Structure 1
Amino acid sequence: MSSGTWGVVASLVLLTSACSSEAVEIDAPRLPANEAAACAELLDALPDTLFGEQRRPVHPDGAPGAAWGDPPAVLTCGVGEPSGYEPTAGCIEIRSVGWFVPQEQLTDVGADATATVLTHSPRVELQVPADYRTTGQSALAELTPVIEETLERTDRCL
């Protein structure tokens, strides 16, 4: 191969790598010091892969979240009460971690879904693109031990 051809190949490899590792924007909530510390511990313990996808950098730097894959599955720590949540709503319990998913998202498997931890503090939200819905339950199960080990249990599922 000529040096010009090598240059084109190297440029394409770098361009492809840059596209797949682009930082994922996270809506970073402002957290009290104790929640920020708990979220930092959780983030340090998260797996490098989820849904069979590699972890990606997030923006802003230091945001209490993580992302995997393209389209990205995004985990955010320190979120508020989930949209559509009612105190009498049930949740999906995996070991001691209760995940709330709005009913309309449970029934429409072709849509994106958001699962929020209700039983531990601070709350954690996982936004799951429709592309990953078939493996969503196993991803929640994979995250469960990390949540149990790093966050305080504050409630139970109904």
Structure 2
Amino acid sequence: MNIFRHRPFGLPALAVLMIAAAGCSSADDAPSAAVPSPGATVARLCDRLDGVLPKKVDGLTRRDPEPSSALTAGWGDPAIILRCGVVRPAKMADPEADGVQVNGVGWLLEQQAGGVFRFTTTLRKAYVEVTIPKERTGDGMAPLVSLAPAVKKAIPEGIAD
């Protein structure tokens, strides 16, 4: 019996499976965010934060970025992205840096290229970064109002290591 006779049937089936798997990927339209790599203590705080984050921020439904991690979260499209356990921004050493206080949580404000705003918590045991895309900046700091209760509950006041 010639085994090569059966090969064409297996190859097309394999090709169909590969195409179907590629088409089902959830990463195609999901936002993306770099996952921080904090130490164990900060990672535990971030895990606690992930458990108390709101389902909606500024009226936008939670839609987490890829790759999936308890250290990142997102809302809306284009997404407001939260990353917990980021490194201390260099701008925090600048005495002229802009900061805001929203419902008991201090934030460093940095305007990025393209009209994007990045906010990073201050005086907390873990740095939490929230990036608001240009398309969402018209609402000002409304996303921080939604996030402040969770940050206050999960990330104690203090100085992050």
- Equivalent residue for 1:32? 39
- Equivalent residue for 1:85? 92
TM-score (norm 1): 0.74
How far 1:80 moved relative to its partner?
1.2
- Equivalent residue for 2:103? 95
Partner amino acid for 1:95?
A: N
Cα distance in structure 2, aligned partners of 1:135 and 1:31:
31
How far 1:93 moved relative to its partner?
1.0
Cα distance in structure 2, aligned partners of 1:125 and 1:68:
14
Number of residue pairs matched by the alignment:
135
SS of equivalent residue, structure 1 residue 41: helix
TM-score (norm 2): 0.72
Query: Contact conserved, 2:50 with 2:70, CA < 8 A, in 1?
Result: no
Cα distance in structure 2, aligned partners of 1:31 and 1:118:
16
CA 1:63 to 1:46, structure 2 compared with 1: closer, same or farther past 3 Å? closer
1:47-66 equivalent positions in 2, closer than 5 A: 47-66=54-73
RMSD over equivalenced CA pairs, Å: 2.6
- Equivalent residue for 2:119? 115
How far 1:37 moved relative to its partner?
1.0
Of stretches 76-85 and 30-39 in structure 1, the one that deviates more from structure 2 is 76-85
Cα distance in structure 1, aligned partners of 2:79 and 2:99:
24
Cα distance in structure 1, aligned partners of 2:100 and 2:124:
14
- Runs (5+) with no aligned partner, structure 1: 1-14
Indicate the percent of aligned positions where both proteins have the same amino acid.
28
How far 1:83 moved relative to its partner?
4.8
1:125-136 equivalent positions in 2, closer than 5 A: 125-136=129-140
SS of equivalent residue, structure 1 residue 59: coil
Show CA shifts across 1:75-104 (max 9, x none). Answer: 0000112253334235201233111112xx
CA 1:33 to 1:136, structure 2 compared with 1: closer, same or farther past 3 Å? same
Partner amino acid for 1:73?
A: I
